[in-house]
Amino acid sequence: MPIATYSLVALDCPEPEALARFYQAVLGGEVRKYNEIWYDLHAPGGHRISFQHAPDHRPPKWPQGASDSQQLHLDFTVTDMDRAQDEVLALGATPLDLDDRGGERGWRVFADPAGHPFCLCVQD
């Protein structure tokens, strides 16, 4: 018997409503405000991502070397990589790893507007 049931992933950020709206544009769903420092995105499929205000937030670094830590990243499955890339860039994402292998590997890495890394992955 499990000890717990998965509930959500919470991301620290400087502007929780803005980051919740970014992910709502990427995934769909409904943004709910709980208080001034906490917003939830209830995404399709019953998944939930929360966004917590962190005034001294420092974004994680995408690994450039063995000692770098990405801390956490989110993966999203897409059917059309190029279209999805264009759309997340238009929403304010920043490319982190768009080398020539991106299409061959099946994923591309971006940072959300608060600097958290996420991957777009081609659906198998």
Q: Report pLDDT digits (tens) over 56-104.
A: 988 877 766 666 665 677 889 898 889 999 999 999 999 987 655 545 6
Separation in Å, CA 5 to CA 1, 2, 12, 73: 11, 7, 22, 20
The pair of structure tokens assigned to 33 is 């405000």
pLDDT > 80? residue 3:
no
pTM for the full model? 0.80
Domain match, 80 and 102 both = yes
Instruction: Say how far apart CA 66 and CA 55 lie, in whole Å.
Output: 29
What is the structure's pLDDT at 4?
52
User: Is 63 within the bounds of a domain?
Assistant: no
Q: What is the pLDDT of residues 12-63, one digit of tens each?
A: 999 999 999 999 999 999 999 999 899 999 999 999 999 999 999 888 777 6
For 47, other C-beta atoms within 10 Å of its C-beta total 13
Domain of 14 in residue numbering reads as 1-56
User: Is 62 within the bounds of a domain?
Assistant: no
How large is the average pLDDT for residues 102-115?
Answer: 81
What is the structure's pLDDT at 5?
72
Instruction: Collect all residues with Cβ–Cβ distance below 8 Å to 89 and sequence separation of at least 6.
Output: 95, 110
Q: State how beta strands 74-78 and 117-122 pair.
A: parallel
CATH (domain of 30): 3.30.720.120
Domain match, 39 and 78 both = no
Task: Name which of 3-7, 56-60, 105-109 the model is least confident about.
Answer: 3-7
Q: According to the 3-state scheme, what is the secondary structure of 18-40?
A: HHHHHHHHHHCCEEEEEECCEEE
Domain match, 44 and 80 both = no
Q: Domains in the chain: how many in total?
A: 2
